Chain A
Amino acid sequence: MNYTEILCDWAASLQASSIPAECDRKAKEQLKNILAASILGVGAESSQGVLRAFNAFDRGGPSSVLGTGRRMAPANAAFVNAFFAQIFEYEDWVVYSHSGASVISTALAMGESEGCDGRELLTAIVMGNEIAGRTGLAIARGAYVGNSLPNHQVDSAFIAARMLKLTPRQYEDAIGLSSFVAMEPCPLGFMTDSKGLINSFPVHAGIVSAYMAREGLVGGRGALEHPAGFLSTVSEFLDLDELTRDLGSKWVLPTLHSKPYPICGYNISPIHAALELHREHAIDHRQIDHVIVYAAGVTLYAGNRFQAFETSIFDKIEKREASHVPLLFDVPYPMAAALVDGELTPRQYDRAHIFDPVIRDLAGRIELRVDPDMHEAYYRFQYASRVEIYMKDGTVLSKYVPQMPGASDNEFDVDAKFLSATGPVLGERRAERALELIESLEDVDSVGRLTELLGPAGTGAA
């Protein structure tokens, strides 16, 4: 058997009884976290534009568009929900793959459309993360890092195939169809709202391909590992054994990292350290002279990418040549905003904040450096940082964060994120009910019972 065949057989036959309780628990964490990110994302100006665009041609369907009360065809609902989840970079990852926005958007849209129960939704989430994590590991030495890993047209096809109850060979057809036009992100898109689409087009392809496989289209065999197949098309280096190593005994979901702040994962620990210092010392930002941030090399790689323009990234945002998106990968701007406001939420990325001269001035006095121990630890999934704040009176305030909050060995309160993000949209009581429903998802007889709670207050279930 080849790798694709093994994965398809495994995914199609996976039973809930084989899934460790820890995976179910992390699947619920991922569901809560991504719902929070998506429903917060609805408020973005670009998200409203996406909704209007889809309203022009999607006349309705069985799958919910989160936080809106709208329903669309499954592939379209998953497309839009994935955009919402990505537009503030407030999602998650397993091993190296940012899986949640793809897996949850696909599983919810297909689960609702196919009338699946809560147990099957959980199983699909666990399975989808296995596929995303493993394909991500297989291409980890290629050119892409982080959210750029181009593997989600595969995991979404697996999930859709599962929810359509396809045979293992139909799964393979779905994978072959979905992965034919291999989607790789242009780095330039990380300057604009384009980045919100990073999972949207892949999940759309995955879902549509599963429907086509059900109708008998031939997608071929071995599409993942074939020398002219998907993985070798998107990556210069392959570690194919990662696809099936310890499959069914060593699980991916326990490596889930859920984001406590809307920012690139490499930058969470620096932001957390700064906010901890702000809280512990009631820092007056006007008294800060300068800040030095120590972190892994990838923090500089992501956080420094937009600082070489002839005119600044802020000028590009002002001229609408860029959106707020590059600032989600920056360190100086979000750290300055966090030190001024005492928080980092989507609000700090609105235009009033972006053009606040006080924040911009402080951002210009924040410097990044690599710490070799932190750099080495990053490749063992330890996301460490140290922030030193030099005050004008000569005081130096320092904070070391050995691991980011949201890591599997340093979990944060995802329930609180869910309630604060969804309460203002859904209404507090319905947000609490949705949380309770997720906690007992194994016993929920229909995914629709959850999604009917996820529209704005005054719609769906009371």
Chain B
Amino acid sequence: MNVSQSLRDRLEALAERWPANAARLASYRLSPMLDRRIDCRVGGEYGWSMLFTRERLGIEWQAEGVAAAHVDLSEKDWADVLDGRLGIISMVFAGRCQFPKHERYVLSKLSIVLQSLATMTRQA
């Protein structure tokens, strides 16, 4: 799928912001989400994969390998999530995002980290 330029811009901005903030955002308690690939879908179609490490936020545009967690949202919901206006967990409560038991430890932490990264106004 072609991911809209609008979402690409948001993702690239987050990836750029991550290295300077990773140490503060990924505490020991949140660390289980690190080094795990997360596949992201837009309206049911593959969009991109994210991989948070302590050094970088990698964005891949082609499906490859097995993901630890999956997030499937509409274009509008993704825009809200990547802007930090809402969290992935907000979409879960609204019934618009799956929350399978074996992926919860990644998704709950991803929600915190992604929204924090998107809404912080000062960088390290």
Contacts and interface: CB of A to CB of B under 8 A. Distances in A.
Interface stretch (A30-38, A305-313, A342-350): A305-313
A370 B115 contact: yes
Contacts of A305: 87, 89-90, 93
| Main DSSP-derived SS at the B contact region | helix
B27 to A, nearest CB: 4
B89 to A, nearest CB: 5
A301 interface: yes
Contacts, number: 98
B93 A191 contact: yes
B61 interface: no
Nearest to A301: B112
Contacts of B66: none
Contact of A307 (B86, B92, B122): B86
Interface residues of A, number: 32
Interface stretch (B28-36, B37-45, B49-57): B28-36
Contacts of A140: 29
A306 B124 CA distance: 30
B105 A372 contact: no
B75 interface: no
B1 to A, nearest CB: 23
Nearest to B20: A372
B122 A372 contact: yes
Nearest to A148: B108
A51 interface: no
Interface residues of B, number: 36
A356 interface: no
Interface in A282-316: 296-298, 300-301, 304-310
Q: Which 5 A-B pairs have the closest CB atoms?
A: A297-B116, A308-B90, A143-B104, A379-B27, A308-B94
Interface of A: 140-145, 187-188, 191, 236-237, 296-298, 300-301, 304-310, 368-373, 375-376, 379
21 contacts: A141-B31, A141-B32, A141-B105, A143-B104, A187-B99, A237-B32, A237-B105, A300-B112, A300-B115, A301-B89, A301-B108, A304-B115, A305-B87, A305-B90, A307-B90, A308-B80, A308-B96, A368-B119, A369-B119, A370-B116, A376-B25
Interface of B: 21, 24-25, 27-29, 31-32, 77, 80, 84, 86-87, 89-94, 96, 99, 104-105, 108, 111-113, 115-117, 119-124
Given A308-B90, A375-B116, 18 more contacts: A141-B32, A142-B105, A145-B108, A236-B105, A237-B105, A297-B113, A300-B112, A301-B115, A305-B89, A307-B86, A307-B90, A308-B86, A308-B91, A309-B93, A372-B21, A373-B24, A375-B25, A375-B120
